[in-house]
């Protein structure tokens, strides 16, 4: 088959860091090999640094970000548990679906897509929820929700945060914010192929976890007995190549420094958003809550959404994303994440988009 | 970190085919890119060939083989459903755990570890089960169970087969045998890194599926709407690098031919089992039911299990597996799967084992 390469400026996957790609081809090791276990330990330790946490149970779940979401809910939510979910995009909607399948009584707190959640509304939605869940960086809208404000007012509830599109791209501080559990994905600002869900769960969530979750595969008690502790009790065969790739990418990220990665994402996002406004586009996400790593604009009146995206893909090899749900056809989602977050890609996209619209 | 390479002769992962490793580093594509969707279609079509099925719903589940097991149960088993499980090893045990978490009434049919299941006992265990589940190739014991005989007598039940260690290594014929659903793993006889679960589900199972499974991530109705059909409805971000690797490995496998792959595994297994008996070892798995791709022997009296395995690993870079469950410390499990299934590896292992035991 033909092999094409792309500049991946959609909502994920991004272009992986060269180190991440090289990490995929490291010679295969067994999942109980002492060398692999050392590499896994180092991966988990570097994940703690990236999450800003000392949580012992910090590890890559063996599935994509959505598996991380499911792991978060099945390990903390059982039948009849009240879960408040902030919903201002597709991934908040998904949380309601996943929590419902755990038997939760779901209390939704909606905000319009493109606008941030109101932390006060989320906190006052129910007097005693077991879990308050929200998305930090809504990949469907490009909006940042204020996780820190929600966690600060959580009272006795557990706070569960979706950090799929935030981790590595904007500040995430699990321990400083007092977030109880969170998950991410490898294919966004961590610059790795999709396939793993970095995960962290703190002591309060551990104490209140579901002892036998409905999912065997995502049972964090069993997974933790393999990834940490001394017994290294076999649960399932770890996805070796993906973990060696994540290990390599985290090494590159920490060599650059977390602050350096945040700064680079911020610089690219600002240049992109500024450039798009200069081209006459209207930014969609609310001012003050715009993600630098994922920019959303309204498709201008009279412009054919699909035709423009197809032209960018076929003429320039650039992928950008369309809108989803009620916003399909109405917005574009332009990612600048991981290795894609380079000024050269911003400059290229702005020029290619300008050319395409003037053809 | 130090990079060591191994000859992987444990119960999996095996050494991946060079084509599979190269496939991991193919330039990243988006999960909705037309080129990726074409590659995914070809992957699913080649999986149909390898499974011996025309099932439309044939795809790689985005997790390891154990995610495939969970996908099989959550999509077909709900509270109160009767599930007969044949148990003669760790993975039969695991099936009971997973089915129980779906609320099933589990009816176990045990056979001693190292012995095959009795198909008549499995078929007569309950008058009207919804599902009869069994493991084709028990990775914990090296025993083959007769899936075809169970499927032939299934009556109105669905037959669910674990083919993690069989697919690509010994004949599997989903349609000819009339198996309703089955899953595998990439890291055994398919010669890919762990991380995907090739899966197939036929029309009878589709008609009787659970409409809203307790797992969102493994909801085959939603996953199928992305992998097949024309809408390509986004569910979760596909693990791109792992799928391009599987695509490449299936290409290599089908270039060799399924029969060629079965023959190579058979030849290596026979040479290994013959060689081990000549060295004085007692084979553990029952004669007539021995897997060529996974050979089990009793650890000789007076031999230190862990010390021998450590010596093989550190002196020769060869990994073999120990026993699990009640057989920990009592048996060795020696895999010859995927790219590892070469006579040179058999010759090396026999010589290295001989040297180690005579030191």
Tell me: the pLDDT tens digits for B323-345?
Answer: 999 999 999 999 999 999 999 99
The span from the CA of A71 to the CA of A66, in Å, is: 9
Degrees (nearest 5) of the Cα angle B304, B308, B314?
Answer: 145
Half-sphere CA count of A244, side-chain side, radius 13 A: 25
Cβ contacts of B95 on chain A, cutoff 8 Å: none
Both tokens of B4, joined, read 């060591």
Q: What is the mean pLDDT of residues B134-143?
A: 98
Q: Is A179 buried (19+), middle (13-18) or exposed (0-12) by CB count in 10 A?
A: buried
CATH number of B7-13+257-358: 3.90.1150.10
Residue A319, chain B, CB below 8 Å: the answer is yes
Q: How far is residue B102 from each of residues A86, A303, B75, B79, measured CA to CA in Å?
A: 28, 49, 9, 6
The pLDDT, as a whole number, for residue B230 is 78
Nearest CA-CA partner of A201 in A85, A21, A338, A44: A44
CA distance B48 to chain A (A): 19
Crossing angle for the helix pair B343-358 and B258-278, to the nearest 10 degrees: 20
- DSSP state, B162? E
Strand A181-183 and strand A197-201: pairing?
A: antiparallel
CA distance A325 to A345: 27
Query: Which pLDDT does position A4 carry in this prediction?
Result: 86
Question: Is residue B173's pLDDT more than 80?
Answer: yes
ipTM given for this complex: 0.97
The answer, for A37 touching chain B at a CB cutoff of 8 Å, is: no
Asked whether the beta carbons of residue A3 and residue B24 sit closer than 8 angstroms, the reply is no
Average pLDDT over residues B117-139: 98
**Residues paired with residue A83 on neighbouring β-strands, in sequence order:** A106, A131
User: Which pLDDT score is estimated for B238?
Assistant: 97
**Is B257's Cβ below 8 Å from some Cβ in A?**
no
In this prediction, residue B4 has a pLDDT band, given cuts at 50, 70 and 90, of: confident
Residue of B nearest to A211 (CA): B101
Tokens of A212: 């036998």
Q: How many CA atoms lie within 13 A of A158 on its CB side?
A: 24
3-state secondary structure chain A: CCCCCCEEECCCCCCCCHHHHHHHCCCCCCCCCHHHHHHHHHHHHHHHHHHCCCCCEEEEECCCHHHHHHHHHHCCCCCCCEEEEEECCHHHHHHHHHHHHCCCEEEEEECCCCCCCCHHHHHCCCCCCCEEEEECEECCCCEECCHHHHHHCCCCCEEEEECCCCCCCCCCCHHHHCCCEEECCCCCCCCCCCCCEEEEECHHHHHCCCCCCCCCCCCHHHHHHHHCCCCCCCCCCCCHHHHHHHHHHHHHHHHHCHHHHHHHHHHHHHHHHHHHHHCCCCECCCCCCECCCEEEEECCCCCCHHHHHHHHHHHHCEEEEECCHHHCCCEEEEECCHHHCCHHHHHHHHHHHHHHHHC
A7-13+257-358 shares its CATH topology with A18-256: no
Q: Is B289 helix (H, G, I), strand (E, B) or coil?
A: coil
| Contact at CB, B70 and A215, closer than 8 angstroms | yes
Contact between chains at B3 and A12 (C-beta distance less than 8 A): no
Alpha-carbon dihedral sign for residues B41, B42, B48, B51 = negative
Backbone angles phi, psi at A98, to 5 degrees: -65, -45
- Across the range B25-29, mean pLDDT stands at 96
Q: What is residue B56's predicted lDDT score, i.e. its pLDDT?
A: 96
Q: What is the pLDDT of residues B281-320, one digit of tens each?
A: 999 999 999 999 999 999 999 999 999 999 999 999 999 9
Average pLDDT taken over every residue of chain B: 97
Give the pLDDT confidence of B58-91 residue by residue, as tens digits.
999 999 999 999 999 999 999 999 999 999 999 9
CA angle B216, B222, B224 (to 5 degrees): 135
The structural domains of chain B, with segments of one domain joined by +, span 7-13+257-358, 18-256
CA B285 to chain centre: 17
What's residue A45's pLDDT? 98
Of A120, A119, A110, A168, residue with least CA distance to A141: A110
| Three-class secondary structure of residue B110 per DSSP | strand
- Give the pLDDT score at A46: 98
Radius of gyration (Cα) for chain B, nearest Å?
20
Cβ contact, residue pair A101, B31, below 8 Å:
no
Say if the Cβ atoms of B216 and A97 lie within 8 Å: yes
**Å between A176 CA and nearest CA of chain B:** 30
Pick the CATH number of B18-256 from 3.40.50.1970, 3.40.640.10, 1.20.120.1200, 3.40.50.300: 3.40.640.10
Percent pLDDT > 70 in chain B is 99
Q: Which residues of B touch A185 (CB under 8 A)?
A: 237
- Alpha-carbon distance of A43 to A250, in angstroms, equals 7
Angle, helices B34-51/B240-256, rounded to nearest 10 degrees: 50
Q: How far is B346 from chain A (nearest CA, A)?
A: 18
In this prediction, residue A177 carries a pLDDT of: 98
Distance CA B180, CA B160 (A): 6
Give the CA count within 13 Å in the CB-facing half-sphere of B10: 24
**Mean pLDDT of residues grouped by 10 in chain A (359 residues)?**
87 98 96 96 98 98 98 98 98 98 98 98 98 98 98 98 98 98 98 98 98 98 90 94 98 98 98 98 98 98 97 97 96 98 98 95
Q: Is B242 on the interface with A (CB under 8 A)?
A: yes
CA dist A24 and A40 (Å) reads: 14
Distance CA A108, CA B321 (A): 49
> Is B193 in contact with A66 (Cβ distance < 8 A)?
no
């Amino acid at each position: 088959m033909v092999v094409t390469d792309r500049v991946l400026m959609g909502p994920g996957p991004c272009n992986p860091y060269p180190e991440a790609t090289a990490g995929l081809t490291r010679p295969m090791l067994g999942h109980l090999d002492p060398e692999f276990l050392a590499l896994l330990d180092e991966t988990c330790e570097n994940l703690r640094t990236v999450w800003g946490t000392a949580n012992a149970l910090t590890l890559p779940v063996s599935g994509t970000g959505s598996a991380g979401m499911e792991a978060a809910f099945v390990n903390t939510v059982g039948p009849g548990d009240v879960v408040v979910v902030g919903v201002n995009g597709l991934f908040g909607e998904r949380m309601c679906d996943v929590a419902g399948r755990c038997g939760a009584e779901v209390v939704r707190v909606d905000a319009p897509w493109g606008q941030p959640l109101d932390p006060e509304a989320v906190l006052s939605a129910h007097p005693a929820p077991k879990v308050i869940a929200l998305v930090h960086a809504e990949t469907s809208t490009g909006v940042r929700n204020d996780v820190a404000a929600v966690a600060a007012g959580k009272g006795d509830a557990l706070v569960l945060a979706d950090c799929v599109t935030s981790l590595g791209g904007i500040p995430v501080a699990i321990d400083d914010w007092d977030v109880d559990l969170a998950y991410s994905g490898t294919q966004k600002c961590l610059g790795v192929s999709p396939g793993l869900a970095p995960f962290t769960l703190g002591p309060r969530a551990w104490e209140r976890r579901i002892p036998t979750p409905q999912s065997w595969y995502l049972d964090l008690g069993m997974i933790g007995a393999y990834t940490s502790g001394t017994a290294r009790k076999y649960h399932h065969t770890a996805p070796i190549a993906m973990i060696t790739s994540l290990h390599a990418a985290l090494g590159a990220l920490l060599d650059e420094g977390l602050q350096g990665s945040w700064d680079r994402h911020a610089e690219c996002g600002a240049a992109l958003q500024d450039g798009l406004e200069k081209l006459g586009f209207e930014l969609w996400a609310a001012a003050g809550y715009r993600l630098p790593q994922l920019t959303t604009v309204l498709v201008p009146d009279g412009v054919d959404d699909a035709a423009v995206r197809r032209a960018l893909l076929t003429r320039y090899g650039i992928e950008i994303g369309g809108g989803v749900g009620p916003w399909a056809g109405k917005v574009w989602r332009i990612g600048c994440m991981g290795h894609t977050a380079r000024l050269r890609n911003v400059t290229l996209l702005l020029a290619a988009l300008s050319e395409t619209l003037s053809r």
